[in-house]
Every structure is written in C-alpha cells, then in structure tokens.
C-alpha cells in the first residue's frame, strides 16, 4: 500500500505568488528508502510556465539591480535566518526525498545558512578598482554590472547547498533568478522557497519552476531573456546546456562529472587514508561529484590498506538515513540504482575482482528501497570502464602501483579533473602532487570530497566549463566588468 507521507502538492513560484502549472499535471516524489512512500508532488510545468517565470524575473531585474549591495545583503541575511529557522524540517524532507542521512542533510542545510550569510557580507565589498590613466585630467576605474536574469539548474545530490551557492551570489551581485531544481528533490526546494517567503524579497527576484529537464532546463538555456545559465549535473546534459547558451550569446557555467582519485603513498598514515577513503567514497552513498572513485595504492602498503579498508567497510550500516545508526542511505532513485548495479556488472565482466559488496540489499530495518552494498573491486586496470566512467554510487576501484610517479600518472589518466587527494608524509611528494595533479581541487592527507564555502570550486578537463563557483570567484561569473573613463 502506498503511504502518503506528505499529501501536499507544491506549486511553482514566480512574481511572488504560487501558481499551478498550465499542464494541469503533477509529478510524484518517491522516497528511495521506501518506495511505497510518496513524499509530495510538484508541477509538471510547460514552456508557458517557464515564460511567466522568466518574465517576472525580467520585470524585477532593474529594481533589484539598483538597490545598494548593502540593501541586497540585508535580504540575504533574512533568507539565512529563514533557512536556519526551518533547518530541521527541510533536512528531514531532503532525507526522505533523496536518501542522504539526516545528519548529513542537517550539515548541508547549515552550510546553506552559512553561504547566505557569507554572500550577504559581499554586498559591502568593493566592486572595482581605480586604474591610472595616461590622461592627467581623467579618472578611470572599473565597476561591475549584473548579467540580468540568471537561470539556475541544479542536481539532486546536494538539494540545499548547490542551489544556494548559486542563488546567493547571483542575488547579491544584482541578478534576478529562475531556479529549476532536479525533479527528484523539487519538494525539498519548494520547502526552501516557502521558508524564503519570510524574507519578503521583492516580487520576481526569486522564481521557481519544476518539470522535466528537456522542457524547463533546456527552455532556460534557449530562452532569449535569460542572460546567464549556471548548471550542475551530468556531462551530456551540461554540454547541451552550454551549446544552447553559446549559440545565442548567453553566459554559461557548467560543473559536471568527476572520477576522483586518492593516491596512497608507501609512507602514508594508513589508518588516516582508510578512514578518509571510506568517508569520501561511501558518504552520501557515493553520490557526490567529488566522491572518491579510484584508490591508487603503492604496492608496499597495498595489502595492509586493502585489508583495513574491507574491515572498516563491513561496519557500515545501511538504512533510511533518519536514524543515527544508519551510516549510508539508498541511491537517490531507481535509475541511479540500476546504473550502479550495471557498473558493478561491467567491473565483473571486464575482469576486476569483487572483494566486498556489490549486491542490492534491504535497509537495516528491512526497508524496501534502492539500497546497494558498499562495493570494493581490486585488480582494476586503468582502461576498465569502472576506472574511467563516473558511477555516482558506493563503488571503489583499487589499483596497485609500483611507484608514486606511476600513481600520479594513473590518477591523471581520465577525462575528468574535478578533485583528487594524496596521503603521504613526504613533503616532496605533496608538492609534486599539488603541481602535477590535473584537478581543480587537490587535497593533501584529506578525503577527496569537500571544499570550504569561501574557496573557489570547479574542475579541469571535462569536469567543468573552466569557471569557478563559491567564494569571491563567483563574482567572475555573475557579473561583467565595466570600465569607466571620466574626463573633467
């Protein structure tokens, strides 16, 4: 029997009002930890709905742009307070909707609060520089101007943090926003918007539309009144978004996949490396773009590392994430669950050795959902599919190397370049890794997943469009430099 945990149907939000889709149809959001539970419903929106949202953002953009940075910052402080006040309810909804443990979701939502407050403060920072002119009777300086209307397209794996780390800088730098969250976590974002209403943003500054990526996501990329697109998601979709934006001259920012390595040198602290590998690979069920996917271990410590890794992995409990005893939750949806199982089968078919896991299971309390055991392969060669393609699940590929140099070469032998980490006590190895690793985020003696909110984030190679999110670097995307020459 289907249990209606939340009977509410969530509407779109534009021009300060909630609106039913022109389609008249809705999409159910199902709990991946218990597929009999419906968490809520969202609108299956049309291009007509999107046009109304973009029109609202366009109408609001001049008024919002003309506010001082300090005034916009006060609104962001109010948004932060509203999110903090509703932190527990939003985190629990996200856990039910996409499976991440409640402890992780509370931490992620708290991060969203911190991001809003960080960017609220940015409203009081400088927007340009004075530049010497060759004309002694002139003043020359730079300032920054917002793009206008920004389309925000976000994934389901960080349903609070990623939308907010795009929305917050977009707003503080003077843009208005239309958000299209992943359908799998649209209920969570609807609850965020409900909380945000407490901040009383001017109408049209923040707008929210749910629906399919092919209609709403692609529609944002194609829309002539959307001046910039910021996207996080798969490589295939990201490239489509980028091509559409480029074709009409819109600015775009893409954060896409990763195949993130950990290198364990012969002089590493093995216990530290094991703990960080497990956290990086299996937290959030491996559903992070920075998750550890390949673990490249020096032959001298390989067996010790492998055995400790297996022993620790066996202690992982799997469940619905709402209890503290559940260390790992389910895959976020049926499609991702089937993808993970298909990659496990590819690993077996291509000759990798399955050391542990690899099976679908029930949760700790016999929940029926999209649960897959944490999985460890060895005898993985660099050319194998599980060593090259992003799995986005709890799967580790162990790779043995003879030298540190071979390990670094193996780490770079993929099309992605998002994050990477090394475990070593040797300063020269650390510096070599920092200099030669082809990734936008490199970490030493720490897991591959995670970056602080005030630091730039983004990848190299096929992992991004070579722009950066978060921190002061966000200013580069959400604004354009204007050079001013004043002659007295």
Catalytic center residues: 255
Taking alpha carbons only, the member of 158, 138, 235 closest to residue 462 is: 235
Cβ atoms of 199 and 75 within 8 Å: the answer is yes
Q: What angle do CA 5, 8, 11 make, to 5 degrees?
A: 140
Exposure of 236 by Cβ count < 10 A (0-12 exposed, 13-18 middle, 19+ buried)? exposed
Beta strands in 299-393 (DSSP E): 353-356, 360-361, 371-372, 375-378
Residue 209, token pair as written in the block: 């539309």
Residue 406, token pair as written in the block: 């071979």
| Cα–chain center distance at 129 | 32
Q: At what angle do helices 69-85 and 102-122 cross, to 10 degrees?
A: 160
Cβ atoms of 80 and 120 within 8 Å: the answer is yes
Residue 195, token pair as written in the block: 């909380």
Helix (H) or strand (E) holding 387: helix 385-388
Collapse the DSSP code of 391 into the 3-class scheme (helix H, G, I; strand E, B; otherwise coil) and give the result.
coil
* Residues written for the chain: 488
HSE, CB side, 13 Å, CA atoms: give it for residue 250: 25
Helix (H) or strand (E) holding 261: strand 260-264
| Cα–chain center distance at 252 | 16
Cβ atoms of 230 and 202 within 8 Å: the answer is no
| Cα–chain center distance at 223 | 24
Report d(CA 285, CA 268) in Å as an integer: 26
Pairing of strands 360-361, 138-146: unpaired
Report d(CA 71, CA 205) in Å as an integer: 14
Taking alpha carbons only, the member of 233, 227, 225, 224 closest to residue 180 is: 233
């Amino acid at each position: 029997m289907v249990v209606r945990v939340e009977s509410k149907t969530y509407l779109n939000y534009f021009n300060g009002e909630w609106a039913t889709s022109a389609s008249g149809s809705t999409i159910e959001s199902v709990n991946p930890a218990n597929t009999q539970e419906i968490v809520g419903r969202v609108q299956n929106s049309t291009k007509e709905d999107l046009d109304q949202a973009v029109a609202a953002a366009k109408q609001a953009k001049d008024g919002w742009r003309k506010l001082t940075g300090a005034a916009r910052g006060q609104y962001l402080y109010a948004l932060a307070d509203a999110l903090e006040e509703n932190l527990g309810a939003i985190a629990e909804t996200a856990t039910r909707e996409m499976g991440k443990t409640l402890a992780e979701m509370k931490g992620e939502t708290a991060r969203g609060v911190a991001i809003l407050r960080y960017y609220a403060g940015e409203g009081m920072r400088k927007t340009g520089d004075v530049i010497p002119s060759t004309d002694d009777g002139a003043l020359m300086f730079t300032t920054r101007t917002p793009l206008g209307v920004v389309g925000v397209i976000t994934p389901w794996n960080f349903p609070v943090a990623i939308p907010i780390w795009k929305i917050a800088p977009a707003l503080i730098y003077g843009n208005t926003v239309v958000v299209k969250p992943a359908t799998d976590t649209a209920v969570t974002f609807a609850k965020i918007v409900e909380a945000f209403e407490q901040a009383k943003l001017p109408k049209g500054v923040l707008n929210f539309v749910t629906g399919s990526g092919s209609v709403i996501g692609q529609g944002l990329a194609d829309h002539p009144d959307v001046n910039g697109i910021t996207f996080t998601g798969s490589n295939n979709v990201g490239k489509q978004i980028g091509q559409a934006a480029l074709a009409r001259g819109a600015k775009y920012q893409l954060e896409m996949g990763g195949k993130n390595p950990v290198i364990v040198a012969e002089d590493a602290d093995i216990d530290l490396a094991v703990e960080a590998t497990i956290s990086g690979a299996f937290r959030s069920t491996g559903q992070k773009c920075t998750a550890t996917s390949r673990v490249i271990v020096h032959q001298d410590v390989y067996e010790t590392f492998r055995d400790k890794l297996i022993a620790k992995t066996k202690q992982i409990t799997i469940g619905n994430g709402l209890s503290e005893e559940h260390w790992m939750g389910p895959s976020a949806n049926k499609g991702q669950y089937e993808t993970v199982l298909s990659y496990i089968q590819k690993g077996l078919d291509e000759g990798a050795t399955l050391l542990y896991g690899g099976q679908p299971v029930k949760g700790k309390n016999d929940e029926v959902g999209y649960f897959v055991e944490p999985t460890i392969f060895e005898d993985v060669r660099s050319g194998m599919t599980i060593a090259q393609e992003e799995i986005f699940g709890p799967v580790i590929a162990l790779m043995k190397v003879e030298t540190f140099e071979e390990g670094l070469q193996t780490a770079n032998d993929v099309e992605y370049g998002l994050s990477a980490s090394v475990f070593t006590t040797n300063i020269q190895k650390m510096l070599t890794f920092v200099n030669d690793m082809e990734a936008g985020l490199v970490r030493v003696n720490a897991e591959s997943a995670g970056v602080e909110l005030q630091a730039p984030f983004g990848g190299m190679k096929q992992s991004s469009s070579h722009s950066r999110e978060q921190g002061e670097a966000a200013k580069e995307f959400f604004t354009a430099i204007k050079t001013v020459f004043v002659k007295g």
